[in-house]
Amino acid sequence: MQVSRITQVDGAKASTAARFQLDRWTLSALVLATFAALPIVAILAAAPEGGFEAIAHLAQTVLGRYVANTLALMVMAGGFALVVGTGCAWLVSAARFPGRRIFAWALVLPLAVPAYIAAYLYADILDFTGPVQSGLRSAFGLSAGEYWFPEIRSLTGGAFVLGIVLYPYVYLLARSAFAAQSLSQFRAARSLGAAPARAFWRVALPAARPAIAGGLALVLMEVLADFGVAQYFAIPTFSTGIFRSWLSMGDKQAALKLAAFMLIFVIALIAWEARTRTGRTASKDGLAARDDAPFIELSPAGKAMATLACALPLLLGFVIPAAHLAMMAMSDTAIAAAGVLWDYASGSLWLGLATAIACLVAALVLGFAKARSHSRIARGAIRVSTLGYAMPGALLAVGLLAPLGAVDIGLTRGLRDTFGYTGGLVLTGTSLVLIYALAVRFLTVAYNSVDGGLAAIPPSLDAAARSLGAGPARVLGRIYVPLLSPSLAAAAALVFIDTVRELPATLILRPFNLETLATRTYRLASDERLVEASIPALILLAAGLLPVLLLTRTAKR
């Protein structure tokens, strides 16, 4: 009896030690977590500088406006995406109407359109000199001042643009949740006398609520991170405020304090998204598999309304922007401006490749740390390392520039005094910091793909190779890399595309000799040279189609 108790105690101690052991994979994950956490730590450390007076000055001048506009944009864009995404998801999951099979995957296409490009296009379409207002004046013989037309360059206009290109986040998760439900539950409610709307609200919607909330959290993260739409529509938000304070006014402390306030929003959204993810996992076990019974039958009028309800978001979010952009890209002005396109495309190309390589290496380290180490420290380090997906580009940029700028000055002085170095700043004066920031932001994309690939590889393959005398490097090269090649290729492609389309971090951190397709499009659009910006914008839109096509392939399944 005593021996048994001693054995149990020793086993418990060994288990506890294993949970907190520091093997090489855990240490590697901790190093990556340290790099990923640096911008957050730098922002929090700089927040108290200047004391209460600095915070009070911000509160009296710009803070209230930034908070109000950011919250209003999140509420309006999030509400729009919530209604459109949930409504379309329910229609394509439960009803039968013309075009349902096409809408099931095509409703994801607006994700291919960068929000800032959609803002440029809708401003061009709906402005006073645009085709819509010009057509109205011509058709009804109106002059300026004789009619009212909603202003697209406004808070509501920005919410519309963000909502119409981001609603697929809600749509995808809601559709998956609705598709996992059994329609027999809905029919049971209908047989008890519940109207279709009541059955939807009381039966279908509660079961899908965690998934819908998760999609909404992703939309709100994107709205909070937005810079291009808010900047072009002159909406003062945290992102534009940080950009203006750092680059236009040279006020580093104000930018860091604004980033600290923005971080509060980010942490709240991360906590909410994590909670909804737990809810989605818990709710799956209670859902019955969909049966093979026919879909809900609609009346002819109902079918027409369902088709229209699904067609409008697709038209507004993808077809109209893509068609307008393609028409502009075929003009002589756009073709003439494309002569220097390679200069900007090459910048995007090498920046995307460098970031993709950095993310793949880091993702492999984190993936093996999860697979090989059962330490809680390793799992905590992985969580910290993959928080970048929720961090706005502007926040990451100032969070890295503050500490690395000080390190860079000291490093440059040391090189100059020791080796006679006469160049510029080594870190912040080159693309290294930009690649660092982009890798932190998009590491989650690569990690999710690599982690999924590793989960499909049985550990017995590794053990068999080791038993035959193969070293770690040979096992990695001969077993893991070939088996992971689809996951690695998908991860590299997704990171590359996200990097090419990233705007705020690139604008703040890029060296003076680097221009990308995104920054070139932004500068031309800011100068109201939208026709010249149409071809690089079209390339960015086309690049965004790859991940969207992967999503639509999943949606078809």
Q: Tell me the per-residue pLDDT of 359-404, one tens digit each, with 9 for 90 and over.
A: 999 999 998 888 877 788 889 999 999 988 889 999 999 999 888 8
Q: Give the chain's mean pLDDT.
A: 84
Provide the Cα torsion 201, 206, 208, 212; round to 10°.
80
At residue 183, the pLDDT reads 63
Inform me whether the pLDDT recorded for 205 exceeds 80: no
Q: How many residues does the chain have?
A: 557
- Give 257's contacts (C-beta < 8 A, 6+ positions apart): 46, 47, 50, 54, 55, 58
Give pLDDT tens digits for 141-189.
888 878 889 999 999 999 999 999 999 999 998 988 887 766 666 666 6
22, 373 contact by CB (below 8 A): no
162, 77 contact by CB (below 8 A): yes
CATH numeric code, 22-556: 1.10.3720.10
At residue 333, the pLDDT reads 87
Residue 484 CA to residue 271 CA, distance in Å, equals 31
Inform me whether the pLDDT recorded for 15 exceeds 80: no
Residue type, 367: G
At residue 208, the pLDDT reads 80
Residue 32 CA to residue 23 CA, distance in Å, equals 15
> Kind and range of the H or E element at 261?
helix 252-284
At residue 285, the pLDDT reads 43
At residue 524, the pLDDT reads 92
Give pLDDT tens digits for 217-261.
999 999 999 999 999 999 999 999 998 888 777 778 888 889 999
Residue type, 206: P
Tell me the torsion sign for CA atoms 226, 229, 232, 235.
negative
Q: Higher model confidence: residue 436 or residue 554?
A: 436
The confidence band for 547, taking pLDDT boundaries of 50, 70 and 90, is: confident
Q: Higher model confidence: residue 255 or residue 6?
A: 255
The confidence band for 546, taking pLDDT boundaries of 50, 70 and 90, is: confident
Give pLDDT tens digits for 394-407.
999 999 988 888 88
Inform me whether the pLDDT recorded for 430 exceeds 50: yes
Place of tokens 């800032």: 116
Comparing C-alpha atoms, which of 467, 482, 506 is closest to residue 243? 506
Main-chain dihedrals φ then ψ at residue 175, nearest 5 degrees = -65, -40
CB-based burial, 411-429: b 16+ in 10 Å, e otherwise = ebeeeeeeeeeeeebbbbe
Inform me whether the pLDDT recorded for 62 exceeds 50: yes
Coil, helix or strand at residue 96: strand
166: exposed, middle or buried (C-beta count within 10 Å: 0-12, 13-18, 19+)? buried
The confidence band for 449, taking pLDDT boundaries of 50, 70 and 90, is: confident
- In 107-251, alpha helices (H): 115-126, 131-140, 155-180, 183-191, 196-199, 205-225, 228-232, 238-243
At residue 18, the pLDDT reads 52
Percent of the chain with pLDDT over 90: 44
Give, in degrees to the nearest 5, the angle at Cα 419 between 417 and 423. Answer: 85
Inform me whether the pLDDT recorded for 281 exceeds 60: no
Give pLDDT tens digits for 309-322.
999 999 999 999 99
Residue 79 CA to residue 56 CA, distance in Å, equals 32
CA distances from 200 to 82, 117, 120, 174 (A): 15, 36, 38, 13
At residue 494, the pLDDT reads 87
127, 137 contact by CB (below 8 A): no
At residue 191, the pLDDT reads 65
Main-chain dihedrals φ then ψ at residue 391, nearest 5 degrees = -90, 120
At residue 272, the pLDDT reads 86
Q: Higher model confidence: residue 111 or residue 368?
A: 111
Inform me whether the pLDDT recorded for 480 exceeds 80: no
Q: Higher model confidence: residue 21 or residue 480?
A: 480
